[in-house]
């Protein structure tokens, strides 16, 4: 049962964490649990976006731009990666209108309390993940089924088909597909497709010390390198080359200099040229399908 909702669980312990971190947008939502404090916060790289905060257990929705995180809030953290088609079902209703960071208790009664208790101090990472899995099964028993149509649509979008082709294949109009997609995933199919292109480009670029960006652009579904440069900057605030120089070993989490926020341009892009180091890759455990 759990595998219908959850892609994987992760746990990270980094007691010396400090400073800022840029988290690139991804194609999945997550529940984040701060195991050391009752606070989580985030701020978008987009100009004019207000910082958000919640208690120690929050849901980060699928969003279309990078977020700036305080690494001091991640010294001991656990996470639950939610399948994209299951975001609305996980919340018990609709994913449309979810903010970038939402207190889990506003979505699942006693959800924060149960998950925070399962991940209490003094337990190893493996113990935390086992207990989180157990509590998730309890919390999700009354959730509706994830949207099977959106699951099929996402599979086809990942294969490179256009939104029009996907709608035709599923036998629905684009407006119907968009309506169901918004409710299940929280974004339109076209917006989600942009994240898929970014995800593909990141995956291809991290394999090389000297990426061929023109080839990566075409293989990731962009028209040309200029299109990739534009998409990368719009979604992350960085150019592809600056992102790659920051350290592709941890491609979605990039450590920032302390003055990063002061140097953001009005578009949300980084105007300065600050050195950034990648943070360690997070340990992950696949969600178990036996339950």
Write down all domains in the chain, each with its CATH number in brackets.
Answer: 2-146 (no CATH), 148-251 (1.10.10.60)
Give me the mean pLDDT over the 236-252 stretch: 84
Burial bucket for residue 173 (CB in 10 Å: 0-12, 13-18, 19+): exposed
Write out pLDDT tens, residues 246-283. Answer: 865 578 988 887 655 555 544 444 443 333 233 333 44
What percent of the chain has a predicted confidence (pLDDT) above 70?
Answer: 84
Give the span between the Cα atoms of 35 and 24, in whole angstroms: 23
Q: Does residue 165 or residue 256 have the better pLDDT?
A: 165
Instruction: Name beta bridge partners: 286.
Output: 8
Position 158 pLDDT exceeds 60: yes
Confidence of residue 50 (pLDDT cuts 50, 70, 90): confident
Pairing label, strands 6-13, 57-60:
unpaired
Alpha-carbon dihedral of residues 84, 86, 92, 96, nearest 10 degrees?
30
Give me the mean pLDDT over the 106-120 stretch: 72
Give me the mean pLDDT over the 51-73 stretch: 92
pLDDT averaged over the chain?
Answer: 84
- pLDDT, residue 280, reads 34
Write out pLDDT tens, residues 69-84. Answer: 999 998 888 999 999 9
Q: Does residue 276 or residue 128 have the better pLDDT?
A: 128
- pLDDT, residue 64, reads 87
């Amino acid at each position: 049962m759990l595998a219908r909702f959850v892609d994987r669980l992760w746990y990270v312990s980094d007691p010396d964490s400090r400073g800022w971190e840029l988290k690139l947008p991804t194609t999945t939502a997550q529940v984040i649990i701060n195991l050391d404090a009752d606070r989580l916060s985030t701020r978008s790289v987009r100009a004019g976006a207000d910082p958000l905060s919640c208690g120690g257990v929050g849901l980060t929705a699928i969003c279309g731009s990078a977020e700036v995180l305080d690494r001091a809030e991640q010294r001991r953290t656990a996470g639950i990666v939610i399948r994209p088609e299951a975001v609305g079902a996980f919340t018990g209703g609709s994913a449309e209108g979810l903010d970038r960071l939402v207190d889990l208790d506003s979505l699942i009664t006693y959800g924060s309390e149960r998950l925070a208790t399962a991940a209490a101090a003094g337990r190893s990472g493996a113990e935390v993940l086992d207990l989180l899995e157990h509590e998730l099964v309890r919390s999700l028993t009354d959730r509706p089924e994830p949207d099977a149509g959106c699951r099929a649509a996402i599979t086809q979008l990942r294969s490179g088909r256009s939104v029009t082709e996907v709608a035709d294949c599923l036998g629905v109009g684009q407006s119907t597909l968009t309506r169901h997609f918004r409710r299940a995933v929280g974004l339109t199919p076209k917006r989600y497709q942009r994240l898929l292109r970014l995800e593909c480009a990141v995956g291809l670029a991290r394999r090389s010390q000297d990426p061929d960006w023109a080839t990566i652009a075409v293989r990731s579904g962009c028209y040309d390198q200029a299109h990739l440069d534009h998409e990368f900057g719009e979604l992350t605030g960085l150019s592809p080359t600056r992102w790659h120089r920051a350290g592709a070993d941890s491609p979605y989490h990039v450590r920032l200099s302390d003055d990063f926020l002061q140097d953001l341009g009005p578009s949300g892009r980084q105007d300065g040229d600050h050195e950034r180091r990648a943070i360690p890759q997070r340990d992950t455990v696949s969600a178990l399908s036996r339950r």
